[in-house]
Every structure is written in structure tokens, then in C-alpha cells.
Structure 1
Amino acid sequence: MHDIRFIRENPQEFDRQLARRGHELVADKILALDSTWRKLTSQTQELQAKRKAISKEIGLCKRNKEPSEHLEGEVADLKKELEICEEKSKQEAAKLQDILARIPNLLAEEVPAGKSEADNQFVHEWGTKPEFSFKPEQHFDLGEKLGQMDFQTAAKISGARFVVLKGGLARLERALGQFMLDLHTQEFGFEETNVPILVNESAMYGTDKLPKFSEESFQTTDGRWLIPTGEVPLTATQAGEVIAEDKLPLRMTGLTPCFRSEAGAAGKDVRGMIRQHQFSKCELVAITTPEQSEAEHERLTRAAETVLERLELPYRRLLLCEGDTGFGAAKTWDLEVWLPGAEAWREISSCSNTRDFQARRMNARYRSQDGLKFVHTLNGSGLALGRALVAVMENYQTEEGHIRVPKVLQPYMGGMEIIS
């Protein structure tokens, strides 16, 4: 959500920022709605004051046993006029709220120009791509040959974009989640937090998933939503809260199933586990002061990178360009892991600083020496388990079609060194 005072004072700057995203320039439209709403609000207050004054006169008349019928008639007329004015004011406020809710966050100045992922800025690369004496296979071929990755059975019971994992691969995915939680809690100070995966509309709205992304999420018959990411319930824990400044930053991590309709993804990653309706993800969320948020963004991203480094998976970091930065983000680092079977880099984590964009929607604030201020919220995947499993399978495959277990995961696998 945007600060209407900023738009009033800086309409040209606001439109300049929207132009960076290729968004419609709407400052004039917003200011016109805002002006109408403010006038109606002022009229409402004047009518309320007038009704209150006349009501006092009526009271005096009755105490003095004087006629007050003409005044009572005025109050009745004012009541009707007031009801009309209040209704118009509500309608204009709703229009203003709706347009503000659909406008993306303003970008950080350092976000590079560009329209698509082809324009994202390379930052650094870590690790060495593995060399094979054979042609490496993709994860779905490996998993099906092992008899531990079953898309057919999943389709029978749920439809496309689901998977059944069995045996060693099911245990490997579980091990990945346990390892990530241990790393983030023990080394990076995130608090493990077990949250609901069904949330109300307020939680989805506050974390900028509504109204923009309603078609990409699943809604239940009672109006609740299946979470598209653990960011939603973790961040929403602070909705409406006032946090003492010395308690910040708050750092939370949680391992949750996530659900996405993948609307508009027809024909993309049809085979395999890259784009699923249901997947598990270890989420990282930080709540900070504005002064801390840049450093916290780097810290959170390093936590995700450390997972990949401990797994010895080659990855690279990118700074997303204007056209590829998500709706709620002011700035996003993407981590891409190397998949030798697919011969491609694939996104495995996005770490975003939303600044006060979500906090304004949620009314999440902190108490500083200068009074109440909005917090900054940050989130990132640390990591998506399905994609991490894919990366381990493709980077650790053997010529026989087995999967070597990364050393760091072997304690979580009861000492198992190879999945065959």
C-alpha cells in the first residue's frame, strides 16, 4: 500500500516510479479521487456539527417548554443529507483504496532497467558445475527409473502438477527440510514458527497477495485461502501489532506446504517437479526498522545461499530488473541453481525487501523515540524443497542412475550415502 501523503506531495515522482515498471500513470486519477473523498469527508463533518448544534437547541427548547418542531424538521432533513454524504464518502474511499491496492511497490533506485528476466543483473556465481563421464539425466527420468517419483499415480488422485515421492527420495526431501530449519535457527537466529496453512482474506491482503493474485491461489468454500507461500502467515503474525524498537529485527522461519494454481503456466515445465500445485518450502521472514532493512536483506539472502553452499550445489545470484521484480517487492535477489540434466540455471530462491509496502496494508508498526513508524518486511525462500531435491538429484546422480546423498544430509538420512 502506498502513502497517500507522498502521492499528494510528489505526484510526478510517483508516476516516474510507476513508469519504471511499465505501469499506467495514475497519480492524477488518485489525486482526483482523493480530492473528492476529502471534500465529502469535510461536508460530512460540517453536517454532523450542524446536526449536533441544532440537537442542542432542541434540548434547550424542550427544557424551556418552547416549540421545537421546526428544528426537529431541520434535523430530519440533515439526517437524510448526512446519510447520502456518508454513503458517497464511503464509495469514494473504497474506489481510492481499490486503486491503491492494485498498484505495485515503488522500486529501489539501484534496481536495474529492463523488461524481462533477460535483463536481470548478474552479481556473482559460486561453486563448480559437476562434470560427468556420461550424459546426465533430468530429475523426472531419474526418479521414475528409481521407482520413487510417481507422476502417474499423483495424476490419478489429484490431476496434473502433483507428484508422489516414495522411499529414499521421500526421505531425502524430508531431510532437506530438517537441515534447512536447523541451519536457519542455529546459525542465523531465525525462530522456528509453525503456522496455519489456511488463512483469512485479511492475511492475504496484508501480504499483497490480494486482490492482485487471487487467480493464482486456491480458496476454500468457507472463504479462507490455502497459502501460496509461508511468507503470508509468518508476516501476518505482526498485522496490527506495535513492536518495541529494541525487539527488532524479528526473524522467523517455517516449513510449510504451499499451494498455487499456476494460472497462466500452461505449457511451462509440464514434466517434473519444477512447477507444482503443491510443494513444500522453508520460508524466511524478517521484520525490521527502515534503517536495518538493507543489511537484513543481505543477511537473509546469505542464509539462503548458505544452504546451497553446504549442499555443494553451484548457484548464482541475480538482481532482478524493473520488469521482473515482483508486485510487492522494492528489490529482489534471485538465486539460481545449476541443473546439469536440464543444462540450465533455474530459480530456487527469491529474497525480497518490500520495505513498508506490506506494513501499511497490515498496519504493522514499531515504537521509536520519534513515535510510531511502519516496519519494513522482508521474505525469501530458504529454500523451496522440491527444487532443492531436483538440484540434488541432477548434481549428485551416478552413471547407474543412483543418487549420492550430500554429506551434510547423511546424518538426517540415518547415514545413508546413496539412494538406489
Structure 2
Amino acid sequence: MITHNIYRCSSFSWKINNSIRLFSSSILPDIDLNYYCNIENINEIKNNIKRRKGIGDIDKAFNLYNTLKTTPNGDNSYDSIKLDLFKELNILPNRTHPIVGNYADEPQVILEINQKKDFGMHKPLEFSKITELLNLMRTDKLGNTCGNKSYYYFGALAELEEALIKYTVSTLIGKDFLLISVPDILPRNLLEGCGMTINTDRTQIYSLDPYHHGHDMYLSGTSEMSLAGLLSNSVHSAEKLPLKLAAVSRCYRAETSNVVEERGTYRVHQFTKVEMFLITKPQESDEMLEYIRNIQQELFTPLGLHMKVLDMPPHELGAPAYRKYDIEAWMPGRNSYGEISSCSNCTDYQSRRLHIKYTENNQENYVHTLNGTACAIPRMLIALLETHQDPKGKIIIPKALQPFINGNTFIGKNTQVPKLKLRK
């Protein structure tokens, strides 16, 4: 596993160094063998894999487990069998919350927030058309700079991006989140410890050229992984939990989509995101997931967006998630909803792989990890501009954001940056 001294991060250690000590651990993840290798649970595990559209073969893992039990420790094949067993166990999905396990294939709408804006006779424009008319963004003719699924924000739109970040971060700091600046290049074992699948046909992860940049190094898709890596191989005092971290980072995702609703900058290869990451005692993680969701609702509601909060069904859960909420905002220019955030309870799935524990009553146990999007910039900008567009050719800035954008109340046409032409 990744092993680094978390005390080197001074902005982190001054607050919590009394609650953490490092400990030595095996390279192997500490999978719960009592559950995954119990014959009574195999049908449950198989059904969970099927419903979650996950990967993994529990029969193969169980056969390896039985072979390992009958192989003497010290035999030439023992270490190889053990490694194969944990490779199989490591890619199995987390368990699913019992309530979610009863859902069919559709998300459950648990809450709607704000009303849809009435545009009257005015037909709302799509984000890309708005930004074209106001000269606020460029997504084509980028030359050799970024390539497909990339963009430039100009003037007030770039300022609005910064305002969203400042608004979000100030709210989180007010709720005692510790802000961390994180790396964007991560090793393979950390990504896999967080539940990401590497080098498959469906991978969304950018890998760096091993010849020039080192073996098994990747661009981070979310700061959740960097924050989890910061805590790897650590033990926390129970009275110091929950530990609440936040980061602003650039996210890189090698994903494409031909879905009409995901055109333009809805799905891009790099974007800025503010992320929340929490660790807590197991008995408190369900409550902490609701806490994160409430923070998201508190952040988004004053922005005047119409939203619905969804409890996601099993097939929408990534491998680490035990339960996940999504929030979708109405994007009137597209005449459809679009996901702007999610939050997940990953229970001990990541902590067992990264060896993150807590101590209570002289006993060590694995923490539960949770994560949540506080602000994903491109989709938030889509929702804001489409919702607050004015027929007179300007964008009304929500009052909650105005203090973070020099008190401006609206965005007009950008005249400082001319429309660019690509010279042949």
C-alpha cells in the first residue's frame, strides 16, 4: 500500500496530530474473510454482484480460499494462492444497504427543492448558446491546447467559477471542514484501494506514460482518492471522529458520451470540483451520509435551482458505495435534469484496503469513509446560466454568490476577449 508520513502536511497535522499515529500493515487489503468466504453468504454476494453490474467471481474466490486453507504456510505455492485470492476479493463490490437492496431499477425521489422557473413566452436557451451569444466560453478551435471535451471560460464566467469555489469553501470551513491542497498524480495501488478499476475497456482514468513519468502513475479523477491516500496507514482516536476534510482540485476523466443530454460541457475531460471526504465510526456512518446530503442541499438551495434528491438503486452504485444519493438540477435550456452532485457511504470498503482505523476502549477497528460533491463547476454553471438567463441578454447572479463576485448582480456580454479565429 501507499505509505507516507502524514505529519509532513503541516496544515493537516497541527489540528489532528494528537489523534493519529502510524502503524505498519501488510501490502494486502484486509478483506472481511468471515463474510466473503462464508459458504452461507455466496448466493447473497452473487446477487449483489449481478444487481450492481459489478465484476468479480465469488466462486473462484471461494475455491482459492479453500485451496489456501489446505496448503501449508511455507509451501512454494502458498503465497501465490494467497495473492490470487486477494486479487479476486479486492474487485468485488461493497455490500448494499438493505433499503436500497429492495429498490427496482429506478432511483427513488426523496425530495424536491425549489420550483421550476417560469419563462413565460421566452424559450430558454441552452448553455452553449448562451455562452456563444455572450462570448463567455470557447469549446472548439482550441488548436493544440486541450483537444476534445475541453473549454475556455472568459471574463465573468471565469469569475463565476471562482465565486462558486469561494462560496462553497467558505461554507465548508464554517462547518469545521479542514481544507487540504491535494496532488493530482496518484499511484495505482491508491486508486485501486479506493475502488477504481484500472486498465480495462471501460476505465475513465488517464494513465501517464511509464517510460517518461514512472510506473503505474495516473491522473486523479476526484480528490476523494488523494484525501483517502493522506489517511492511509493511520489510526485515529474515536473522540476525534468524525474527521471532515475538503479539497478543491482539478479532476481528469477519460470519458466520452454520445447521449444528447450530455453534449457540450456536461461531460468533459477535466474540470474543477470541491469535494468533501469524511471518516467516522461505523455506527455513525448512516447518519453522516444524511449530514453530507443536508450540506449539499444547504449549498444548492440558495442558488435558485429546481432540484430533486435521489436515492440511487443498486446498479447505479460504484464498487465502493454502500448507499448513494444524487442531486439532479433542472436545466431548462436542455429541458432535462442533470446530475450536479452525489454523496456516498463506502462503509469499511476503502478503509480495509488503505488501512485506516480508529481506536476505542483499547481496541482498533476500521473507520467508515464517506464522500460528497460540494460543487462540480461545469454542470453547476450549466444549471445556473440556463435557470437565471434573462430575455434581455444577461444572466442574473443569485444573491448568495454576489458577495463572492465583487457584488455584481448580473453577467452581460464579454467585450474584453475578442472572438478567436484559428489561423490556418
TM over 0.5: yes
State the Cα distance separating 1:3 from its structure 2 match: 1.0
Structure having the higher Rg:
1
Alpha-carbon displacement from aligned partner over 1:240-292 (angstroms, at most 9, x marks no partner): 111111111000111111000005x3455563211000011110111000011
**Corresponding residue for 1:349?**
341
Distance 1:98 1:193, change over 3 A: same
Partner residue in 2 for 1:120: 107
Structure 1 residue 404: Cα displacement: 1.0
SS at match of 1:94: helix
Q: Which of 248, 256, 272 is matched with 1:255 structurally?
A: 248
- CA distance, structure 1, for counterparts of residue 386 and residue 278 of structure 2: 32
Which residue does the alignment assign to 1:150? 138
- 1:203 aligns with one of 172, 190, 211: 190
Of residues 41, 53, 66 in structure 2, which corresponds to 1:35? 66
CA offset digits 1:178-231 (Å, max 9, x no partner): 100011111x22111111111122221221114487821111222321110111
Given candidates 169, 172, 179, the residue that maps to 1:184 is 172
Structure 2 residue aligned with 1:107, among 93, 96, 100?
Answer: 96
Please give the residue correspondences for 1:205-284 in structure 2 after superposition, counting only pairs within 5 Å. 205-211=192-198, 215-221=203-209, 222=214, 223-262=216-255, 265-267=257-259, 271-284=263-276
The 3 A distance-change label for structure 1 pair 166 and 292 is same
**1:168 aligns to what?**
156
Q: CA deviation at 1:112?
A: 4.7
Query: For the Cα contact (< 8 Å) 2:55–2:92, is it kept in 1?
Result: no
Q: Distance in 2 between matches of 1:8 and 1:209?
A: 22
Task: Identify unmatched segments of 5+ residues in structure 2.
Answer: 1-28, 413-424
Partner-residue secondary structure (3-state), 1:382: strand
Q: Is contact 1:203–1:232 with CA below 8 Å preserved after alignment?
A: yes
Distance 2:263 2:54 in 1: 34
How far did residue 327 of structure 1 move?
1.7
Cα distance, 1:175 vs structure 2: 0.6
> Pick from 58, 64, 80: which aligns with 1:91?
80
The equivalent of 1:11 in structure 2 is: 41
Which residue in 1 is equivalent to 2:26? none
**1:307: how far off?**
1.2
Query: CA offset at residue 401 of structure 1?
Result: 2.7
CA contact (8 A) 1:102 1:212 kept: no
> 1:360–1:155: structure 2 CA closer, same or farther, 3 Å change rule?
farther
Contact 1:162 1:276 in 2 (8 A): yes
Query: Which whole-Å CA distance do the structure 2 matches of 1:212 and 1:380 have between them?
Result: 25
Structure with more of its chain in helix, by fraction: 1
Residue of structure 2 equivalent to 1:47: none
CA distance in structure 1 between the partners assigned to 2:184 and 2:244 by the alignment: 19
C-alpha distance in 1 between matches for 2:323 and 2:240: 25
1:345: Cα distance to partner? 1.0
Q: How far apart are the structure 1 equivalents of 2:204 and 2:37?
A: 33
Task: Give 1:153 deviation, angstroms.
Answer: 3.8
* Post-superposition CA distance 1:364-395 (Å, at most 9, x none): 11112161101000001012111111111011
Instruction: Specify the alignment match of 2:322 in structure 1.
Output: 330
Pair 1:419 & 2:411 matched: yes
What residue is the counterpart of 1:63 in the other structure?
none
When the two structures are aligned, how many residues end up with a matched partner? 374
User: Given the two structures, how large is their TM-score scaled by the length of structure 2?
Assistant: 0.84
Given the superposition, is the C-alpha separation of residues 18 and 410 from structure 1 closer, same or farther in structure 2, using an over 3 Å criterion?
same
Q: Which residue, 266, 285, 290 being the options, matches 2:277?
A: 285
Q: 1:363 aligned to 2:355?
A: yes
State the SS of the aligned residue for 2:34: helix
Q: Equivalent residue for 1:77?
A: none
User: Contact (CA 8 Å) 1:101, 1:211: kept in 2 or not?
Assistant: no
Structure 1 stretch 295-304 or stretch 188-197: which is displaced more? 188-197
Shift of 1:152: 1.5
Q: Distance in 2 between matches of 1:282 and 1:230?
A: 8
Identity %: 27
Unpaired stretches in structure 1, ≥5 consecutive residues: 45-84
Name the counterpart of 2:420.
Answer: none
SS of aligned partner of 2:140: helix
- In 1, Cα distance between equivalents of 2:349 and 2:80: 24
Q: Which residue of 1 aligns with 2:303?
A: 311
Query: Higher RCO, 1 or 2 (CA under 8 Å, sep at least 6)?
Result: 2
Contact map agreement 2:342 2:372 (CA 8 A) in 1: yes
TM-score (norm 1): 0.84
Q: How far off its partner does 1:25 sit?
A: 8.1
8 Å Cα contact 1:396-1:405 kept in structure 2: yes
